[in-house]
Structure 1
Amino acid sequence: MADSSAIEWTDATWNPVTGCTKITRGCDNCYAERFAERFRGVSGHPFESGFDLTIRPGRLKQPLSWRRPRMIFVNSMSDLFHKDVPREFVDSVFSTMEDAHWHVFQLLTKRSSRMQKYLQQRYTERPCPENIWCGVSVEDSQAKSRVEHLRHAPAGARFLSIEPLLGPVGTLNLEGIHWVIAGGESGPRARPMDPQWVREVRDECVRQDVAFFFKQWGGFRPKDGGRELDGREWNGFPHNKLSSHSESYEEAR
């Protein structure tokens, strides 16, 4: 768990699972894989096994020791809904998030059908807690089926991470979606993002009154192109969801 994060839309990260496998072209230049593989074979290092999927039960209770409320990105180095993560372990992660109710947890997946099924089963007879936010990655128009899965999943808030944006998304139905993050790819093999692609996403958010956060243009380094879009920064958050979770959340941060 990291007590701070360079990711602009969260406060901290928590990785009870690390490692993953690639399933879409949005995974091609995965930053997490690039970082983890640097340490493969380094004895005693947390990433001694590189980016191989690794369950880390010793980290399950970490958020409970953090008393100051935070927004916590869950599994920034993995995907909780990977098919090789046991259902029982996913249950344990959710139990911790429910117990640590003073934090806001942000889960993000490309395996949207598994997430939808899990959430519908876990919260059949009770609502999903307000502090558990669930999101899906959408890199282009071919990935929009994930939005439909998310729309029908119970969650405290639903969000889209349209990053890396690799092509036009096209018409975007944001009914039931509370937040959209967008940005370009970064790293040594970063693929360029057409400004018109992100403008179309931004305009849909404005038209449908959904909070919009522009993370980066991307490039060799994440901050190379800055964060301004058409002369301003877009720092939207679903503040109604934050305030409904805890009236004092912003002050506590």
Structure 2
Amino acid sequence: MAQKSEIEWTDATWNPVTGCTKVGPGCDNCYAERFAERWRGIPGHPYEQGFDLRLWPARLRQPLLWKKPRMIFVNSMSDLFHKDVDRRHIDRVFETMEVADWHVYQVLTKRSSLMRNYVRARYAGGKVPTHIWLGVSVEDAAHKGRIDHLRQINSEARFISFEPLLGPIGNVELTGIAWAIVGGESGPRARAMRPDWATELRLACQHFDVAFFFKQWGGARPKSGGRLLEGEEWNGFPWRIVPISIVQELRT
């Protein structure tokens, strides 16, 4: 687990799974793949296998060792709901999140139907614990269906990452969504994000009362274009869904 994350909307990362495969245009220039493949073939390195899928049972209990509450991005270097991740391993990830309930967990996927089906079965129609946040990545209008899958989960803590934003989203139904993160692509082959695409989402969030976080314009490096949208920083965060018992700890 990373002790500190450079990702603006979380505190730390936890990777009980690493590696993935591509499922859409948002994956074309994957930052995690680019990082992992630098180390392929180096004996003893955590990414000796590059970006090939790997389960890490030894990491499953890491959040239990952190006593101070944190926001933890689960699988920043993979997708927990990849079709080749053993369901028993997913069960153990959720067991840890349920036990170490002094943290907030941010689980983000592009395999939205698999997440929906798993969560429905695990909680048997009941609500997902409010400290486990479930989100989907949506890069363009063609993948808005992931939002529909997310809204079919019984949770108060649903979020969307529109990153990298590769095209206009258009009309979008955000009822029941707590948080939206918008950002452009970064890296050597970054595709440009148009301002009107981001503004369109900001206005949609305003209409549906969704906390709006503008992460970056992107470019050759994540910070290349800065974070200002319409001349302002947008740091919306859904404090209303953070469990009351840990709000103060996370604010400090």
TM, length-normalised to structure 2: 0.98
Q: Once the two structures are aligned, what percentage of the paired residues are identical?
A: 63
What pairs with 1:129-208 in structure 2 (closer than 5 Å)? Answer: 129-208=129-208
3-state SS of paired residue (2:242): helix
Aligned residue for 1:64, secondary structure, equals helix
Contact persistence 1:183–1:217 (CA under 8 A): yes
| Kept after mapping to 2: 8 A contact 1:158/1:177 | yes
Counterpart for residue 120 of structure 2: 120
The aligned residue for residue 218 of structure 1 is 218
Measure, in 2, the Cα distance between the counterparts of 1:188 and 1:242: 36
Provide the secondary structure at the position in 2 that maps to 1:233. Answer: coil
Given residue 80 of structure 1, which amino acid in structure 2 is its aligned partner? L
Once residues 159 and 152 of structure 2 are traced to their aligned partners in structure 1, the CA distance between those partners, rounded to angstroms, is: 13
Partner of 2:241: 241
Q: CA RMSD in A?
A: 1.1
C-alpha separation in 1, matches of 2:176 and 2:245:
18
Aligned to 1:84: 84
In structure 2, the CA distance between the partners of 1:125 and 1:27, relative to structure 1 (3 Å rule), is closer
Aligned letter for 1:113?
S
Q: Per-residue deviation at 1:207?
A: 1.5
Other-structure match for 1:68: 68
Alignment check: 8 A CA contact 1:71 1:106 kept:
yes
In 2, distance between residues paired with 1:14 and 1:25? 25
Counterpart in the other structure of 1:53: 53
| 1:243 shift after superposition | 4.6
How many correspondences in the alignment?
Answer: 252
Aligned residue for 2:4, secondary structure, equals coil
Equivalent position amino acid for 1:171 in 2: N
Gaps in structure 2 of 5+ consecutive residues: none
Q: Report the AA paired with residue 9 of structure 1.
A: W
Alpha-carbon distance in 2 for matches of 1:110, 1:92: 21
Alpha-carbon separation, structure 2, partners of 1:156 and 1:236:
17
**Which residue identity is paired with 1:96?**
T
Unaligned runs of 5+ in 1: none
Q: Distance in 1 between matches of 2:156 and 2:195?
A: 31
Q: Which runs of 4+ in 1 moved over 6 A?
A: none
Deviation at 1:249, TM superposition (A): 3.3
1:174-226 per-residue CA deviation (whole Å, 9 max, x = no partner) reads 01100000000000000000110000000111121110000000000000110
TM-score by length of 1: 0.97
Tell me if the contact between 1:167 and 1:193 (Cα under 8 Å) persists in the aligned partners: yes
Letter in 2 for 1:183: G
